[in-house]
Amino acid sequence: MRLVCPAGSPPAFRAALDAGADAIYLGFRDETNARAFPGLNFGEQDLAAAVHLAHAHGREVYLALNTYPTPARIAQWRTAVDRAAALGVDAIIAADPAVLEHAANAHPELARHLSVQGSATTPVALRWYRERFGIARAVLPRVLSVQQVEQVCAAQVVPIEVFAFGSLCIMVEGRCQLSSHVTGASPNRHGVCSPARAVRWEEHPDGSRSVRLSGVLIDQFAPQEPAGYPTICKGRYRVGENLFHALEAPTSLNTLELLPRLAAAGVVALKIEGRQRGAAYVGAVARVWRAAIDALARDPTGFAAREDWQQALSAHAEGRQTTLGAYQRGWQ
């Protein structure tokens, strides 16, 4: 299995490379990628240098063009595909059919990976993308159980990539209608679930804090209680007489214990989430997964997720908690 790691900056790119990533995915500094906010992503020169460095080390670079353009702005996305091909990236990660169609017609030699934002979860859907746009790989959404992942892989429509570690999304991967409704901004094209302009923190005399998103109270924190990145889905709400994380708790996906099962299913690539995270996160997480993948290759039957690996991942997890998410879902 190949290890696919994120990079939102040149230092993060170098960290992923040094930690043993087989491929690194990144984006342009515009709305063609789903992490488009200030301080992240790559300009033309930085991206060209990243591709050169990766290829010199025998690694690959994937460019995320995974947002959905409005009809009036499709030319910008088509130009981004052309730029990607000219820069020599190894694949684009896209979801919009118009973007995939342009890539297939104008640059047939450029590999096309179906983004998680395409939300394709069945062999029928994957077959449609393969027949129409010649996709070479598909990234599955994080809403499938491990049994469902195995079923999709068994159909052998296209090679499958899955998320192995990082933040979860309970919506239609990056196209959250809750966030759009509350903030008036698309998480898909504006790069973030909670735009900074919509977030308001309030400090209280007793040391507690509360956070609002466009005026909507989404959480309150006791003194000294850790407070994570505020999103609608990970807020605490009163439902009846109970106050709790009604939609999703602040925690990160961690599939380390499922590694042998994912390999046996035929998963070809494991993806680490986190282009918005720094070089320290990328390097630490990538080193654990590199070691784990290599250990599995050396001894498939004797593999066990080491405790120090789990501790290292938990230290970089959201809320310092990890979960198997939908992978462990009992119902189908």
Range of the domain at 229: 191-244
* Residue that is last in its domain, among 244, 271, 287: 244
Q: In what helix (H) or strand (E) does residue 82 lie, and over which residues does it extend?
A: helix 74-87
Q: Strand 160-167 to strand 137-139: parallel, antiparallel, or no bridges (unpaired)?
A: parallel
> Within this chain, do residues 67 and 216 fall inside the same structural domain, yes or no?
no
Q: Is residue 88 a contact partner of residue 54, using CB atoms and an 8 Å limit?
A: no
Name 307's Cβ contacts closer than 8 Å, sequence gap at least 6.
none
DSSP string, 216-242: EEEEEE-TT-------STTS-EEETTE
- For residue 183, being part of any structural domain is answered with no
* Residue that is last in its domain, among 227, 244, 261: 244
Amino acid type, 267: V
> Within this chain, do residues 29 and 143 fall inside the same structural domain, yes or no?
yes
> How far is C-alpha 28 from the chain's CA centre?
16
> Within this chain, do residues 16 and 164 fall inside the same structural domain, yes or no?
yes
Name 168's Cβ contacts closer than 8 Å, sequence gap at least 6.
142, 248, 251, 252, 253, 323, 325
Q: Can you give the pLDDT at residue 172?
A: 66
Long-range pairs, 182-188, Cβ under 8 A, ≥24 = 182/213, 182/214, 182/216, 182/232, 183/213, 183/214, 184/214, 187/34, 188/34, 188/67, 188/68, 188/117
- For residue 122, being part of any structural domain is answered with yes
> Within this chain, do residues 7 and 138 fall inside the same structural domain, yes or no?
yes
Name 240's Cβ contacts closer than 8 Å, sequence gap at least 6.
none
Q: Considering the entire predicted model, what is its pTM?
A: 0.90
* Residue that is last in its domain, among 209, 244, 279: 244
CA distance 44 to 28: 8
> Within this chain, do residues 137 and 211 fall inside the same structural domain, yes or no?
no
CA distance 194 to 191: 9
From first to last of its 332 residues, what are the pLDDT tens digits of the chain? Answer: 999 999 999 999 999 999 999 999 999 999 999 888 888 999 999 999 999 999 999 999 999 999 999 889 999 999 999 999 999 999 999 999 999 999 999 999 999 999 999 999 999 999 999 999 999 999 999 888 999 999 999 999 999 999 999 987 776 666 677 888 888 887 777 767 888 888 999 999 999 999 999 999 999 999 988 887 788 888 899 999 999 888 877 778 899 999 999 999 999 999 999 999 999 999 999 999 999 999 999 999 999 999 999 999 999 887 667 787 777 876 55
Q: Can you give the pLDDT at residue 118?
A: 93
Q: Is residue 61 a contact partner of residue 98, using CB atoms and an 8 Å limit?
A: no
> Within this chain, do residues 13 and 135 fall inside the same structural domain, yes or no?
yes
